[in-house]
Amino acid sequence: MRAALPLFLLAVCAAPQPVRAQQPGRFDYYLLALSWSPEYCASRDGGRDRLQCVERRYGFVTHGLWPQFEKGYPSRCPTSQNVSRGTVSAMLDIMPSPALVRHEWTAHGACSGLTPEDYFGAVRRFYSSVRIPREFQQPATAVLIEPAALKKRFLDANPPLSPASLAVVCSGRNLRELRVCFTRDGKPRPCGRDVRDQCPAEKVLLRPVR
């Protein structure tokens, strides 16, 4: 993978494994992956990424909206459609990498059975449906919190969510990603059995937004 796909590289090792079925529109639910941008910006690749790590101040950003099976997920479904330049530009406020936007369509979006415009419209709707707790929007100092408490903050801010619809993923003790599971029509639902918390430390660290 190229360095231009930072958010994917941050999560690929922890993602549920793909399965063989590759038919667009055939899946069970969606997983919205919200990456903690400061974690990427602390990496070597992030230090070279002016758009995400210098020009703008991001907290949680969208890694992707992934069609899922109850176990595993479809990937790289056949498509002849490409993402327009206008659609790429329109997504950069919540997906801060043109290469990531295009990659997410090829790897995941094409499996939704939607057009690129409708798929990225769904990405924005799902992202906008999750209220980020105030303390995690633009923290100027590091936040150290238990994974269960992090979930509780999101549950308090988003009453429709349940603990089973959230998964916290870490790099060591540092927060990498929060995953939120939805039905195909955008209602919170329990995640599949292979989507689970992956934070080995008792407390998770959120690097500050700078």
Catalytic residue positions, numbered: 63, 104, 108
In this structure, the number of other CB atoms found within 10 A of the CB of residue 74 comes to 24
- Work out whether strand 60-68 and strand 174-182 pair parallel, antiparallel, or are unpaired: unpaired
Q: Please answer whether residues 10 and 177 qualify as being in contact, where contact means their C-beta atoms are separated by less than 8 angstroms.
A: yes
In this structure, the number of other CB atoms found within 10 A of the CB of residue 78 comes to 9
Structure tokens at 168: 């916290």
Nearest to 207 by CA among 45, 35, 51, 54: 35
Inter-CA distances, 126 with 54, 78, 199, Å: 26, 24, 24
Going by the DSSP 8-state scheme, the letter that residue 69 receives in this structure is -
